[in-house]
Structure formats: C-alpha cells, structure tokens
Amino acid sequence: MSRISLAAPLALLVAVVLILPELADAQDPAPRRRAAVSHGNLCGSAPRDMVCVTGGSFRMGSSVGDYDELPVHSVTISEFLIDRTEVSFGQYMQCVQAQRCNMPRYYPPLAQRKVAGSKTTNIKRLPTRRRHRARKGRRGEPTARPAATAGAEVVKIKVSTLLVDSKLPAAGITWFDARNYCAFRGRHLPTEAQWEYAARGSAGNYYAWGSDPASCERANTSKCGQVPKPVNSLQKGASPFGALNMTGNVWEWVNDWYDGKQYASPTTTDPVGPTNTEDPITGRWAYRYRVLRGGSWSGIPNELRTSYRYRLLPSMYANDIGFRCAKSNVVLPTQPSSSPATAPATRRRMHLPTLAQLLGPRLRR
C-alpha cells in the first residue's frame, strides 16, 4: 500500500514536469528561436545588390608582397554579405539627398577633363547661370542639334557642378563618407579580412579572378584608358563569390585601422583590426590611418594583388577612391567620443590627385 501511495504522486509530478515546457512554449512560442535562425542565415535573405560570402578559412597575406603582408596566416571568416559592385554615384547621391552623406569631392580624371563637354559619354559640365541664346542659321532659323550616337543609354546625375554617369563608382569619398553611407543602408564597411576573403576566396587568388595576368577585360587599370568604368562592368574579373571590380576601378575603404605589424600576432577568427587607444601622457592615438584595398584605374600592377594593403588618413579623398558595403553579424570595435575616427579633419584639399600620385615612390618599386 505504501508503494502505491507514493507512486501516484510521483507519476503526477513527472507529468507536470513534462507538460510545463510545452505550456510555456505555447504561451511564448518560438519567435525568438526563428529570429535566431534567420539572424545567423544572412545568405537566406540576401538583397539582389549583394552576394553571399559563405564562411570558410583562407590564407591571409602574401609571401611575395610587402612587409605588412607578412607573415601569411590562416583566418576563419563567418558567413557575410558584400555588395556585388562598388557603390555608384546614383546610389550614393540618394544618401546625399536624404542629408545623411556629404557631397563627393569629385573631379573628373585628366582623360575626361579634356573632353568634359558634350563629346564625353560619362561627364558633362553643368551650364552656367547666364542664359544662352539658341544658335541660328543664315536666315535666322535655329540650327538642328546633331543626333546622339547610338549606344548604351547613360543616365546622368548631378554631382556638385557636374553631370556624371550614375553607374560610375562614387569617388572623392572620405572614410567617414563611406561609413555614413553604409550606415544609411543598414550595412557597414567590410573588415579588412572580410574584404580579402571576398576578393580571393579560400583558394587565395592573386587577383580576384585567379592568377591569369590582368587584362582590360578583367580589371580597369592604368593601361585601360585611365578613367573609371561603370560598377557593373568587367564581368570576367568577378571574384570567386561573384563580386565585381575588386581588382582595379577604384580603391575601396575598409573599416580597419592600419597596423603594419598586425599580421605578426593575428586574430584567427573574424578579425576586426586593432582598437585605437590614446596615450594618456602624450595624447597621441595609436593609429592614424585607415586601410584601402583593391587598386584603381590609375593603378600599377604592384598594387592590384588581392593581398595588397595601403593606408590613408580617413579624412583624405581622391578621384579614384570609393568603397562598397558589407552586412554581417561581426561586432565592430567602437571608439571613444574623442577618437580621431569620430569626425573628419576640417582642412581638406580640393581636387586631390589620384592615389597613385599621392603614394609616390612606394608604388614605383
């Protein structure tokens, strides 16, 4: 009798323990569980203008590069998304019109400035405020304008005092401009490791497309007219994940601070670059420069490899510096309010030359 009397309450207790979780789930069903799954599966809801970069490992750096590309080390990257193309003027000016971004400090390359009137297909100066009279023939009739040449339709957009092909990569962009635009789109600048992995893949491509020599069908470099090309051009030069123009066209800002000795003690999983700190005695910050990747239309072969690193002050810009955005679950480092990353320098040079001219002797080695 005592065993039967104890067994009944025990069975009742077991039933309560088994049923309560189901009742709890019924009252607070699994939206949090579904959210967690969708949050980690970025590629499942990738926008059309982004490509999925599946997680994996690759060898970051180069044994044939500069000192800041050594030592070559293994890095593991979690799944993320990256823009299929560089951000175009058409896209960037939407942020300007929303008053979330600054106007690009853009000036056409020399090859385009020579024909920066009606003959060019990409750049045209806006008319001055002075009213122009129509041209007249011998008898006073207005003369007909010559018919436009046949070809791909070019949609132009107003950028400062110029009408620019909306598909050209946005240039004349500081690091701050690039960061603000990506935030406007709910994205962020890719980390240096994310950018390099998206450009070369797990196979470690020398160029975005592989090891074959750079040609004007694959990459826009100094041998291809020395002018930028539309962001959706050069399909043959796509990276292993389908991103275009990661070699050439315009330099691309990434999120990281530049540290030339960073690879000596690397973070092996989703590195985000060094965190900037201020010396309490001198007041100097540990890092001043941000990283650029990819080379440009003014670039030489030495700077086109996917492992090549360069740095500039985040407040600097040139007519061959642009960017693309990424989207990931990586937590980027935050900076104190007094960090040099919070606001651009007030002194700026207008009509800055190309980055190749800025870099000088280093690129001519």
- Asked if residue 107 belongs to a domain, the reply is no
Residue 53 predicted with pLDDT over 50: yes
- Asked if residue 212 belongs to a domain, the reply is yes
251-257 and 321-322 as β-strands: parallel, antiparallel, unpaired? parallel
Which of these ranges, 37-46, 58-67, 147-156, has the smallest mean pLDDT? 147-156
pLDDT at residue 98, as a whole number: 96
pLDDT at residue 283, as a whole number: 87
Q: Which helix (H) or strand (E) holds 213?
A: none
- 3-class secondary-structure state, position 184: helix
**pTM of the entire predicted model:** 0.77
Among residues 211, 201, 204, the alpha carbon closest in space to that of 301 is found at 211
Residue 347 predicted with pLDDT over 90: no
- Asked if residue 186 belongs to a domain, the reply is yes
Locate 137 and state its tokens. 């023939």
User: Which whole number is the average pLDDT over 195-224?
Assistant: 95
317 within 8 A of 323, measured Cβ to Cβ: no
253 within 8 A of 290, measured Cβ to Cβ: yes
Residue 215 CA neighbour count, 13 Å, CB half: 8
Q: Please report where in the chains the tokens 């607070």 appear, as a residue.
A: 28
Angle between helices 89-97 and 175-184 (to 10 degrees): 80
Longest dimension (CA), the chain: 125
Residue 136 predicted with pLDDT over 80: no
CA angle (358, 87, 109) in 5-degree steps: 40
> If 0-12 CB within 10 Å is exposed, 13-18 middle and 19+ buried, where does residue 359 land?
middle
314 within 8 A of 180, measured Cβ to Cβ: no
Identity of the amino acid at 118: S
Residue 245 predicted with pLDDT over 60: yes
Q: How far apart are CA 243 and CA 205, in angstroms?
A: 14
Residue 94 predicted with pLDDT over 80: yes
Q: Read out DSSP for 44-99?
A: GG--TTEEEE--EEEEES-TTS-GGG-S-EEEEE--EEEESSPPBHHHHHHHHHTT
242 within 8 A of 324, measured Cβ to Cβ: no
Full residue range of the structural domain in which residue 353 is found = 37-88+171-364
Locate 207 and state its tokens. 């160029």
pLDDT at residue 46, as a whole number: 86
- Asked if residue 129 belongs to a domain, the reply is no
Return the top range by mean pLDDT from 183-187, 296-300, 302-306. Answer: 183-187
Residue 148 predicted with pLDDT over 50: no
Please state, for a pLDDT cut of 70, what percent of the chain lies above it: 70
Q: How far apart are CA 250 and CA 283, in angstroms?
A: 34
Return the top range by mean pLDDT from 189-198, 223-232, 269-278. Answer: 189-198
> What CATH code is carried by the domain that includes residue 282?
3.90.1580.10
The Cα-based distances of 321 to 76, 80, 141, 154, 248 in angstroms read 28, 23, 47, 22, 11
User: Which whole number is the average pLDDT over 73-100?
Assistant: 97
50-53 and 156-159 as β-strands: parallel, antiparallel, unpaired? unpaired
- Asked if residue 316 belongs to a domain, the reply is yes
Q: How far apart are CA 241 and CA 248, in angstroms?
A: 17
Please state, for a pLDDT cut of 90, what percent of the chain lies above it: 59
- Asked if residue 157 belongs to a domain, the reply is no
Instruction: Find all residues with CB under 8 Å of 229, minimum gap 6, and list them.
Output: 168, 220, 245, 249, 297
Give the torsion through C-alpha atoms of 309, 312, 316, 319, to 10 deg: -30
214 within 8 A of 296, measured Cβ to Cβ: no
User: Which whole number is the average pLDDT over 159-182?
Assistant: 94
What's the distance, CA 323 to chain centroid?
Answer: 4
The Cα-based distances of 213 to 216, 237, 301 in angstroms read 10, 11, 9
**Other CB atoms within 10 Å distance of the CB of residue 154:** 17
pLDDT at residue 25, as a whole number: 35
Query: Which strands, in side-by-side order, build the sheet including 321-322?
Result: 310-312, 290-293, 251-257, 321-322
pLDDT at residue 107, as a whole number: 87
46 within 8 A of 79, measured Cβ to Cβ: no
Identity of the amino acid at 62: S
- Asked if residue 159 belongs to a domain, the reply is no
- Asked if residue 145 belongs to a domain, the reply is no
172 within 8 A of 105, measured Cβ to Cβ: yes
pLDDT, averaged across the chain: 80
Q: Looking at the 3D structure of the chain, how many domains does it have?
A: 1
